[in-house]
Amino acid sequence: MPERICWIDDIDYHESDAALRAIYDQVLSANGQLDNLYRGFSLSAQTILPADNLYKAALHHNSNVLAKVFAELVGTYVAVLARCEYAIAHHGQNFISLSEDETRASQILDDLCSAEISACGSRKEVCALEYVRKLCVHPSQMERADIEALRAIGWNDAEISELVQVVAMFSYFVRVINGVGIELGDEKLGFY
């Protein structure tokens, strides 16, 4: 019997029926791994493909204007704010892999985790991270001035739209992960 990967029942790839296996086959990682994330979705299998499609659209679509490395940093910060170790591990690794300076990227992640975002990039990037924090922690307090502050420092509306999509998508995933206790286990970290 496969090792438990979350607090609720889940269905391993090798225990799945034909319908679930067909879904799993569509979300396998490049190395053929079924991430524990999607095993944790298995009792609501109808949500796996829409969730995966949203993830790919928000982070990996070729028409995205937000830099991938910054999108991964934003996703990791959402995970940090939610204390979601699973997403921190995966997307922190993605941020490091996409960064030109892995040592600096590791320091930025340490700063995020200790709530010291002032040195986590350029003033423009830090302003966006402040926006991310407010959207995650106090969503009802968002106002037009928050968008205007992003525009004033150089973010365009397409980048802001994608920024919000990344925050919203990660907010969904970290709640699923934390809500059912999905664990890393021995899966390979990161996408890159």
Q: Provide the greatest CA pair distance for the chain.
A: 56
CA distance 169 to 11: 24
- What pTM, to 2 d.p., does this model score? 0.94
pLDDT of residue 192: 59
pLDDT of residue 189: 83
pLDDT of residue 165: 98
Query: Distance from first CA to last CA of the chain, Å, rounded?
Result: 30
Set out the domains of the chain in order of their start, with CATH numbers. 66-173 (1.20.1290.10)
pLDDT of residue 2: 66
CA distance 73 to 5: 26
pLDDT of residue 4: 84
Closest CA to 70 of 26, 132, 115: 132
CB of 153 closer than 8 Å to CB of 123: yes
Average pLDDT along the chain, 192 residues, taken 10 residues at a time? 86 96 94 92 97 95 96 97 96 95 95 90 96 97 98 98 98 97 87 65
- Which amino acid belongs to residue 134? K
| Count of CB atoms situated within 10 Å of the CB of 143 | 8
